[in-house]
Amino acid sequence: MEMRSGEERSARSTDVKTHARRWPAHGWLGLALVGVFWSVNWALPGLRTQWAFFPLWLGYCLTVDALVFWRKGNSLATRNPRAYVGLFLISAPAWWLFELLNLRTQNWFYAGRQFFTDLQFFASATFSFSTVIPAVFGTAELAGTFGWLRRSRPGPRVAPDRRTLLAFFASGLVMLALLLAWPGYFFPFLWLSLYFLIEAVNTWAGHRSLLEYTARRDWRPALALWIGVLICGFFWEMWNYRSYPHWIYRVPFVDFLHVFEMPLLGYLGYLPFSLELFALYHLVMGVFKQDPVELS
């Protein structure tokens, strides 16, 4: 490792701090998109969210990425623009997988769906779904800039040994089977089964997994994902509340104490959902032998 003099280190540190405090151009675009499409989505009557949702959430993604850049001098989009675009491409089919499982659980449906043909709904929904992973990963990286999270103590060790991986895979299979067989009772497994299944597969295949971190007792990536997805969840539910078309929940046993459309206890489902997104993304990137974005 090359050693630097005190003056060189000081100058370099000053350059980084100055660079980190510059608000990037894509952040201004993001703020403009949020301001315009939040306003029109809540103000206009009739059908409008089918075309307003994507630019609103694209604005959110760009704004959060710019905020990360402002705080630390780099971000997902600036470190690897090509891989950042890939987040949008993987996000849509990833969420369609959850829509497929929801055909069995029927935990949410879309008010206003009846006004669209299947092709129209698929097209508009696919654009909207493409923003899910970029929003969660970007907000998770923002959470990773919080000092208290960077200083968090090591957690319990969960290593990807043979016994752990077999337990993960078997648990995922059992949960998925129970979900499909008795969705009225085991619907929460929609947000758990895929993670346990895919995490084991990713590790066996040599793809990136969260177990790489927990093996070192480093839970910061998982904590960042949980914080990031809860922030996203708040904005998803808030912006959905006065949208049209919009989603409505039908969740057995916990359908009370709503915060916007979502039952309060339903927000717990966002936590494992973020882990599923991480696992799905790295499964796809591993299968196609592409370098994934790095959350730092």
Is residue 217 a part of any domain in this protein?
yes
In this predicted model, what pLDDT tens digit does every residue of 14-61 receive, in sequence order?
Answer: 444 545 579 999 999 999 999 999 999 999 999 999 999 999 999 999
DSSP 103-171: HHH--EEEETGGGS-HHHHHHHHHHHHTTHHHHHHHHHHHHTT-HHHHTPPP-------HHHHHHHHHH
pTM: predicted TM-score of the whole model, two decimal places:
0.92
| Sole residue written with tokens 């849509």 | 92
In this predicted model, what pLDDT tens digit does every residue of 63-74 receive, in sequence order?
Answer: 999 999 999 999
Is residue 126 a part of any domain in this protein?
yes
How many CA atoms, within 13 angstroms, populate the side-chain half-sphere of residue 274? 26
Q: What is the pLDDT of residue 4?
A: 37
Is residue 182 a part of any domain in this protein?
no
Is residue 199 a part of any domain in this protein?
no
Q: What is the pLDDT of residue 252?
A: 93
Look at residues 167, 165, 186, 168 and name the one whose alpha carbon lies nearest to residue 177.
186
Cβ count within 10 A of residue 216: 11
Q: What is the pLDDT of residue 17?
A: 52
Is residue 181 a part of any domain in this protein?
no
Is residue 268 a part of any domain in this protein?
yes
Which structural domain range is residue 27 located in?
Answer: 6-157+206-287
Q: What is the pLDDT of residue 295?
A: 79
Is residue 197 a part of any domain in this protein?
no
Is residue 293 a part of any domain in this protein?
no
Q: What is the pLDDT of residue 5?
A: 38
Structure tokens that stand for 41 in this block: 């989505």
Question: How many structural domains are present in the chain?
Answer: 1
The rounded distance, in Å, linking the Cα atoms of 162 and 233 is 34
- The tens place of each residue's pLDDT in the chain, 296 residues long, gives 233 334 443 444 444 454 557 999 999 999 999 999 999 999 999 999 999 999 999 999 999 999 999 999 999 999 999 999 999 999 999 999 999 999 999 999 999 999 999 999 999 999 999 999 999 999 999 999 999 999 999 999 999 999 999 999 999 999 999 999 999 999 999 999 999 999 999 999 999 999 999 999 999 999 999 999 999 999 999 999 999 999 999 999 999 999 999 999 999 999 999 999 999 999 999 999 998 988 77
